[in-house]
């Protein structure tokens, strides 16, 4: 055997399709895109996705794709851990479960028993539910804000399936619907030909390059994310910048100060819609699940506080993070445009 040869199967070498999910547009697109993939029919995606004893990180070596039908609930009310960015009618949905990236701090590895990616192909069912939620929303004078990229990075998937485009086009037809599309992707090019809309908030998560290298596996480097942001802002899109999570480690402050300086020198903050700031945090059950799988990342072997079932850094560290952000950006954005996850 040639020792340089990659011994592992490529991602999506196998596509598992629920019996009821054949003949949907997204299914056909996937199958034709991965024409060499082995297609395996399954009765219910959970029989594959929820198998016992799976190893998330081993599956990340060669991730498989699952095409399934989403059953109710199609949308969810925002949680305490998810930032609402000031929106009162805040919801999220899950067009995809899991992510192409493999960030060490990501809660998905504790939330799901599998790293394989589930795409729900019955978009219309999800959209109908969103229409109902818009109608029933509590604060009628405000739009419904839907985070479509909560349990995934939707834009990173855009070269595979045009889900971001589809959701943007849906939102444009419903003026009371706003979308937050949170991403680390540099794939803005894939939606560049769409006319910008005030209803859409493109939210880029940014981190220093050393954090990206150590903790955000498979994600684009900072420079490419900044280029994507600049292009999007030039094209008139509303852009949110997320420093989430800001991680603390030896000399973290120096790294983040130079990172903030780089961002301030490259991005015109007059065009930035807002900033959200968060720290490492995770539901205790997810944290325990991840610890049990003995991940390689040092993040899970440090000292944290558990308050009301949420594992996070202590408040002293939190405050020093928030102060650093405030010191660095208060001259660039009004305080009410900087949202902190407390």
Partner 1 sequence: MNFLILTALKSEAKPIISYFDLNKDPKTHIYSNKKIFLLITGVGEKNVINKLKSLELKESSWSKTVILNIGIAGGNQLDTKIGNIYLVNSIFDQQSEREYFPDFIIKTSLEEMPMTTVSQPLIDNDCSLRGLVDMEGGSIVKTMSPLVPPHRLIFLKIISDHFKSSDLKEISVASLIEAQIKNIHGLIKKLEHPKLSDRLILNHVEKKKIKEITTKYNLTKTQEYELLEMAESHKKIFNNLTKLESHFTVKPKNKKERNKLFESLRESIPS
Question: Which of 38, 258 has the CB closer to partner 1?
Answer: 38
Among the listed residues 128, 137, 184, the one whose alpha carbon sits nearest the alpha carbon of residue 158 = 184
The contact pattern for partner 1, residues 81-120, with x = CB under 8 A and - = no contact, is ----------------------------------------
**What value does the CA radius of gyration of the chain take, rounded to a whole number of Å?**
20
Task: Find out whether 117 and 96 touch, Cβ atoms under 8 Å.
Answer: yes
Tell me how far, at minimum, the Cβ of 229 lies from partner 1, in Å: 35
DSSP state of 234: H
- Stretch 38-77 residues interacting with partner 1 (CB under 8 A): 38, 40, 42-43, 47-48, 51-55, 57-59, 61-62, 64
Tell me how far, at minimum, the Cβ of 8 lies from partner 1, in Å: 6
Q: Which of 16, 34, 157, 280 binds partner 1 (CB under 8 A)?
A: 16
201 C-beta neighbours (distance < 10 Å), count: 21
Give the separation between CA 296 and CA 91, rounded to whole angstroms. Answer: 33
Give the separation between CA 38 and CA 29, rounded to whole angstroms. Answer: 15
* Dihedral angle of Cα 322, 326, 327, 330, to the nearest 10 degrees: 180
Q: Does 296 bind partner 1 (CB under 8 A)?
A: yes
Question: Which of 51, 71 has the CB closer to partner 1?
Answer: 51
Q: Which of 71, 135, 175, 294 binds partner 1 (CB under 8 A)?
A: 294
Question: Which of 39, 81 has the CB closer to partner 1?
Answer: 39
Instruction: Give the interface with partner 1 as residue ranges (CB under 8 A).
Output: 6-9, 13-14, 16, 38, 40, 42-43, 47-48, 51-55, 57-59, 61-62, 64, 291, 293-296, 298, 301-304
């Amino acid at each position: 055997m040639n020792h340089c040869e990659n011994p592992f199967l490529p991602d999506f070498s196998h596509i598992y399709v629920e019996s009821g999910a054949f003949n949907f547009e997204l299914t056909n697109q996937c199958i034709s895109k991965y024409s060499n993939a082995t297609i395996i029919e399954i009765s219910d995606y959970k029989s594959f996705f929820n198998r016992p004893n799976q190893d998330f990180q081993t599956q990340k070596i060669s991730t498989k794709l699952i095409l399934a039908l989403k059953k109710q609930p199609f949308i969810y009310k925002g949680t305490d851990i998810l930032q609402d960015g000031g929106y009162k009618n805040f919801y999220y949905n899950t067009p995809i479960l899991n992510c192409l990236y493999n960030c060490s701090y990501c809660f998905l590895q504790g939330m799901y028993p599998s790293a394989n990616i589930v795409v729900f192909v019955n978009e219309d069912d999800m959209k109908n539910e969103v229409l109902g939620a818009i109608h029933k929303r509590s604060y009628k004078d405000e739009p419904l804000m839907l985070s479509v990229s909560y349990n995934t990075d939707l834009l990173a998937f855009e070269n595979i399936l045009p889900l971001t485009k589809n959701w943007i086009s849906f939102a444009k037809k419903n003026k009371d619907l706003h979308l937050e599309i949170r991403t680390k992707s540099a794939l803005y090019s894939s939606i560049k030909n769409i006319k910008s809309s005030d209803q859409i908030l493109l939210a880029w998560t940014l981190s220093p390059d050393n954090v990206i290298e150590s903790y955000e596996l498979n994600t684009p480097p900072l420079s490419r994310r900044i280029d994507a942001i600049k292009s999007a802002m030039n094209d008139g899109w509303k852009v949110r910048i997320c420093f989430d999570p800001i991680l603390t480690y030896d000399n973290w402050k120096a790294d983040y100060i130079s990172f903030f300086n780089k961002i301030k020198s490259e991005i015109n903050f007059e065009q930035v819609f807002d900033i959200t700031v968060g720290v490492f945090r995770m539901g205790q059950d997810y944290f325990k699940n991840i610890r049990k799988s003995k991940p390689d990342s040092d993040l899970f072997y440090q000292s944290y506080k558990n308050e009301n079932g949420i594992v996070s850094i202590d408040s002293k560290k939190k405050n020093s993070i928030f102060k650093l952000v405030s010191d660095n950006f208060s001259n660039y954005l009004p305080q009410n445009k900087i949202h902190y996850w407390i």
